[in-house]
Chains A and B, each alone.
Chain A
């Protein structure tokens, strides 16, 4: 790698102005978020709503920052090959450095710059909106249940066994339920039971039934004790959450997901920019990502596409005042593959350093 070339391209994305803009976005989003006002008007479940609003502010702050990072990364990365072809090729072409090294250095710089921008919100949002306000920070530990939703009529029950799961004190189990057609009333009541402890709640909208793990218990039971029908919503309707020691309330883990997303977009825009105009390359990279999101949604590949399920889940966890998990190793490998593919795409296009309409 050619270090000054890496630094040049990293700085072209992570300029001082870009860093300030990305840092300001979470501040503005946090300051202007309406959820705080709404919380004061919700009386029966006042405390819960207040906690939820803090999480949603954090999610809004992250989204605001990403709304700035994504177009910036697409534009600067997509424009890089245009710089080669227009002017910078004059000195890049005459250097003895192999073209592959030059492309790889530019790519690495862009990826690092994108990563810096995508990571900037973590300390800011983490400081402004601590992930949890009601006790211990939790992170997902286990998911279970069928892929399809399951109807529970009045008097019926849903059971999930944890025989093969090592549950410990402090864990929290929750089950996703929603009211549905099939009962006498539009809402119902449900009781969640574990190891002799139970909690009853009204199911009037899609919600979670949550209970603390009782040591020794190896299953959770959800019984419909009302007059309306409810459904356990799949896929993976049962979640086990465990106390977390994630740094910065888990915002660094969100940053890791965001970094993979921004880095993959940067590489894709660079690769496409070597074949077409910067604007078209950026638009196509974004379109490809949206298409991939739709195509893999709900399938086993969704965790492989950067910026899809992993980022979505991490933002959902933050919105609930909890910590997401860091990207798994296969998500890192998938992002690395995409980044390499962007580099290969750019290198393949680099037959000549000038694009003046070769006849």
Chain B
């Protein structure tokens, strides 16, 4: 059993798993398959945890248990000190499931209206919020088109609007980047930033760690249903004897090499140049350029 805490101090952790386990019965012999075993995690209020791991490592199952969608076979999950099935918690929690489980015969505003009604928002309030959020995630133009006509990236954007609808202070996102294009990543970053500003506790799950790192205070690596590693991104992924520089005002020379004075500086510091190449702008900048050119 591992104990992985993110510094809750003396207060109650926003999210806590104690010895959490989930097993399924599979096959004709009803063999028990343990998808999650003895997971201990505690996340302080306002922190962002990145759950990373290969496919089938138990990320989705863990998120479902933390969201109260599924029941654990062992241990317990607590959100703000109470089980996630408790109504007081569900008013403060939002979950973006993997895939698109929403009624795909409805339009995006209609689904947000439905989710808002379930969250107890008044009609006028949920309509106003839905319109604002769909505009924010870039789906205002989708209008009355049913969700079944949406691409995967559009569905993820819609999912981001859905989790933001009721201003939750615990947000669980399963594969939020799946299918997102570059502007979609921008939308995700913006919305995560706003949630963090609001003090929300966030859990992000992805099998592509690089998607998440910049947003996370803490990472937990799941491997075959167990927390194999846990720590800050620098603790888990940092290479102490390497330095990554991004230099402005210097270009590669005509032969594609690094200017000699830069190499000299590195050499004087006792280092060795491992890799160098021209810096690239983020892809989203290219999208913006194309968009603004088209508008002109």
Residues of A with Cβ closer than 8 Å to B?
Answer: 2-5, 8, 11-12, 86-98, 102, 351-354, 356-359
Partner of A96, one of B26, B33, B69, B87: B87
When the two chains form their complex, are residues A96 and B95 in contact, meaning their CB atoms are under 8 A apart? Answer: no
Contacts of B97 in A (CB 8 A): 87, 90-91
Residue of B nearest to A92 (CB): B118
Partner of B71, one of A8, A86, A357, A358: A358
When the two chains form their complex, are residues B118 and A88 in contact, meaning their CB atoms are under 8 A apart? Answer: no
When the two chains form their complex, are residues B69 and A359 in contact, meaning their CB atoms are under 8 A apart? Answer: no
Which applies to chain B's interface (DSSP): helix, strand, loop or mixed?
Answer: mixed
Query: In the bound complex, what is the Cα–Cα distance between A110 and B102 (angstroms)?
Result: 18
When the two chains form their complex, are residues B117 and A88 in contact, meaning their CB atoms are under 8 A apart? Answer: no
Contact-residue size bin, chain B (C-beta under 8 Å from the other chain): 35 or more
Query: In the bound complex, what is the Cα–Cα distance between A98 and B84 (angstroms)?
Result: 13
Q: Can you identify 23 A-B contacts, CB atoms within 8 angstroms?
A: A4-B113, A4-B114, A5-B117, A5-B118, A87-B97, A87-B101, A90-B67, A91-B102, A91-B118, A91-B162, A92-B118, A94-B68, A94-B93, A94-B95, A96-B87, A96-B120, A97-B118, A352-B70, A353-B70, A354-B71, A357-B24, A358-B25, A358-B71
Q: How far is the CB of B22 from chain A (nearest CB, A)?
A: 8
When the two chains form their complex, are residues A359 and B32 in contact, meaning their CB atoms are under 8 A apart? Answer: yes
Query: In the bound complex, what is the Cα–Cα distance between A86 and B101 (angstroms)?
Result: 8
When the two chains form their complex, are residues B25 and A96 in contact, meaning their CB atoms are under 8 A apart? Answer: no
Q: Is B56 an interface residue (CB 8 A)?
A: no
Contacts of B24 in A (CB 8 A): 356-359
When the two chains form their complex, are residues A98 and B71 in contact, meaning their CB atoms are under 8 A apart? Answer: no
Residues of B with Cβ closer than 8 Å to A?
Answer: 23-26, 32-33, 64, 67-71, 73, 84-85, 87, 90-91, 93-95, 97, 99, 101-103, 105-106, 110, 113-115, 117-120, 162
When the two chains form their complex, are residues B101 and A359 in contact, meaning their CB atoms are under 8 A apart? Answer: no
**Given contacts A90-B95, A358-B24, A95 and B119 within 8 Å (CB-CB):** yes
When the two chains form their complex, are residues B23 and A95 in contact, meaning their CB atoms are under 8 A apart? Answer: no
Query: In the bound complex, what is the Cα–Cα distance between A92 and B119 (angstroms)?
Result: 10
Q: How far is the CB of B159 from chain A (nearest CB, A)?
A: 10
When the two chains form their complex, are residues A5 and B114 in contact, meaning their CB atoms are under 8 A apart? Answer: yes
Q: How far is the CB of A311 from chain B (nearest CB, A)?
A: 31
Apart from A8-B106, A94-B90, list 7 A-B contacts with CB within 8 A. Answer: A2-B117, A93-B68, A94-B95, A97-B118, A97-B119, A351-B71, A357-B24
Contacts of B114 in A (CB 8 A): 2, 4-5, 8
Query: In the bound complex, what is the Cα–Cα distance between A87 and B105 (angstroms)?
Result: 14
Contacts of B93 in A (CB 8 A): 94
Query: In the bound complex, what is the Cα–Cα distance between A92 and B94 (angstroms)?
Result: 11
Contacts of B118 in A (CB 8 A): 2, 5, 91-92, 95-97, 102
Contacts of A356 in B (CB 8 A): 24, 70
Contacts of A94 in B (CB 8 A): 67-69, 84, 90, 93-95
Query: In the bound complex, what is the Cα–Cα distance between A31 and B275 (angstroms)?
Result: 82
Contacts of A8 in B (CB 8 A): 103, 106, 114
When the two chains form their complex, are residues A96 and B119 in contact, meaning their CB atoms are under 8 A apart? Answer: yes
Q: How far is the CB of B63 from chain A (nearest CB, A)?
A: 10
Partner of B115, one of A3, A95, A352, A353: A95
Contacts of A4 in B (CB 8 A): 110, 113-114, 117
Contacts of B162 in A (CB 8 A): 91
Residue of B nearest to A356 (CB): B24
Q: 5 tightest A-B contacts by CB?
A: A87-B101, A95-B118, A90-B97, A359-B23, A4-B114
Contacts of B106 in A (CB 8 A): 8
Residue of A nearest to B170 (CB): A94
Q: How far is the CB of A108 from chain B (nearest CB, A)?
A: 14
Q: How far is the CB of A28 from chain B (nearest CB, A)?
A: 27
Query: In the bound complex, what is the Cα–Cα distance between A350 and B105 (angstroms)?
Result: 24
When the two chains form their complex, are residues B87 and A353 in contact, meaning their CB atoms are under 8 A apart? Answer: no
Residue of B nearest to A351 (CB): B71
**Given contacts A4-B110, A96-B118, A97-B120, A91 and B101 within 8 Å (CB-CB):** yes
Contacts of A357 in B (CB 8 A): 24-26
Query: In the bound complex, what is the Cα–Cα distance between A29 and B67 (angstroms)?
Result: 52
Contacts of A353 in B (CB 8 A): 69-70
Query: In the bound complex, what is the Cα–Cα distance between A80 and B114 (angstroms)?
Result: 16
Query: In the bound complex, what is the Cα–Cα distance between A2 and B26 (angstroms)?
Result: 36
Query: In the bound complex, what is the Cα–Cα distance between A94 and B166 (angstroms)?
Result: 12
Residue of B nearest to A102 (CB): B118
